[in-house]
């Protein structure tokens, strides 16, 4: 059996369509005769036998029709055109996003290079440009936080670290940056909390572990400094010690010391009777002044050692006697002690 020529099927479908148009009134009655003549001409021109009364099942497309087939074609064509438009624009958008991401990475690399050269301000500018191109990358915020810390801009560093964690709450390095920012701002408890969260994400991170230990130690030391004082009833170890001098080896609270009325009165007495000149000639006093003002920055002097010097103690005792006996408060010392 030979295959049917598709063209003959198409011609037959056209003849069926024209015949249906006559039947359903699409073609006016006045034009029906002309249409039938046209159909006869088409049939003969393409050598297709046509009879409305005895359709050729081999050539007919029924129960479909030429019109329904054409409608399907139009819908398919429209869908293909729409898909083609979407697919052509999608690569453009994807390419644009890829290009921005690549450019941001180059800016980050440039920022890292500037950090290695210790040009932190320029590095911050590069990281900022990278963030503008790709604000969804937490690394850029974290790196900028590190550069901010190097410049002492700890508030800005904290803000960047928090932003990095907002983008990616599982980014352990951002917790490390946050902890460093808090630590540098003397917010030791918050630093401990940040380092602990970072260590939870990366338990084997030695840097975070060591930073956490340091922050805990500092937090404990700071807490002791703010809360610990000498126990009530304790007295100065040296006889005739000045108020606020602290215990042996203790660090005096100089602000409280200089605001003490007795100290002010004693200073006036020293200036009036020449005691200041005699005290400044004392080697222990000279050593204390060198410790306070020397280039080495030797730290606070040990006043108990000074008062154990016989000449200094004799001078202080005579001054205290001239003021009417021992200084008030020479008993319990409530100044805060250095932890």
Same domain, 251 and 222: no
For the cut 70, the answer to whether the pLDDT of residue 283 exceeds it is no
Closest to 103 in 3D by CA, of 148, 78, 142, 140: 140
Q: Over the stretch 70-124, which tens digit does the pLDDT of each residue have?
A: 888 888 888 888 776 665 556 556 667 778 889 999 999 999 999 999 999 999 9
Same domain, 190 and 142: yes
Same domain, 256 and 337: yes
Backbone dihedral angles phi then psi of residue 326, each to the nearest 5 degrees: -65, 150
Assessment of whether the complete model's pTM goes beyond 0.85: no
Same domain, 245 and 217: no
- Any domain includes 65: no
Final residue of a structural domain among 202, 227, 252: 227
- Any domain includes 70: no
- Any domain includes 51: no
Convert 178-204 to b/e letters by CB count within 10 Å (16 or more is b). bbbbbbbeebbebbbbbbebbbebbee
Under 8 Å between Cβ of 304 and 236: yes
- Any domain includes 318: yes
Helix (H, G, I), strand (E, B) or coil at 323: coil
Same domain, 190 and 288: no
Q: Give the mean model confidence (pLDDT) for residues 38-44.
A: 91
Q: Give the mean model confidence (pLDDT) for residues 237-254.
A: 42
Percent of the chain with pLDDT strictly greater than 70: 62
pLDDT score of 289: 61
Q: Over the stretch 136-188, which tens digit does the pLDDT of each residue have?
A: 999 999 999 999 999 999 999 999 999 999 999 999 999 999 999 999 999 99
- The tally of domains found in the chain comes to 2
- Any domain includes 162: yes
Same domain, 159 and 121: yes
- Any domain includes 32: no
CATH of the domain at 206: 1.25.40.10
Q: Over the stretch 196-207, which tens digit does the pLDDT of each residue have?
A: 999 999 999 999
Look up the domain containing 259 and give its range.
240-293+301-339
């Amino acid at each position: 059996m030979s295959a049917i020529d598709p063209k003959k099927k198409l011609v037959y479908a056209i003849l069926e369509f024209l015949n249906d148009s006559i039947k359903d009134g699409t073609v006016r009655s006045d034009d029906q005769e002309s249409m039938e003549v046209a159909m006869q001409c088409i049939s003969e021109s393409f050598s297709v036998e046509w009879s409305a009364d005895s359709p050729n099942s081999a050539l007919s497309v029924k129960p479909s029709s030429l019109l329904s087939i054409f409608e399907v074609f139009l819908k398919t064509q429209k869908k293909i055109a729409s898909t083609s438009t979407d697919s052509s624009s999608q690569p453009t958008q994807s390419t644009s996003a890829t290009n921005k991401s690549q450019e941001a990475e180059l800016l980050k690399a440039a920022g890292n290079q500037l950090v290695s050269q210790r040009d932190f301000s320029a590095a911050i500018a590069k990281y900022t440009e990278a963030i503008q191109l790709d604000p969804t990358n937490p690394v850029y915020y974290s790196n900028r936080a590190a550069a901010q810390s190097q410049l002492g801009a700890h508030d800005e560093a904290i803000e960047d670290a928090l932003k990095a964690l907002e983008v990616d709450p599982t980014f352990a390095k951002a917790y490390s940056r946050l902890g460093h920012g808090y630590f540098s701002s003397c917010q030791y408890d918050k630093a401990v909390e940040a380092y602990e969260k970072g260590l939870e994400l990366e338990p084997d991170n030695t840097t975070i572990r060591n930073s956490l230990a340091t922050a805990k130690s500092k937090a404990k030391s700071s807490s002791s400094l703010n809360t610990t004082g000498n126990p009530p009833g304790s007295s100065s170890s040296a006889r005739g010690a000045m108020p606020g001098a602290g215990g042996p080896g203790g660090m005096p609270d100089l602000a409280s010391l200089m605001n003490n009325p007795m100290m002010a009165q004693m200073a006036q007495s020293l200036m009036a009777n020449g005691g200041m000149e005699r005290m400044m000639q004392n080697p222990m006093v000279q050593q204390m002044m060198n410790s306070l003002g020397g280039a080495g920055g030797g730290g606070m002097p040990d006043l108990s050692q000074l008062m154990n010097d016989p000449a200094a103690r004799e001078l202080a005792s005579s001054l205290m006697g001239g003021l009417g006996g021992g200084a008030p408060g020479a008993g319990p010392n409530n100044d805060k002690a250095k932890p």
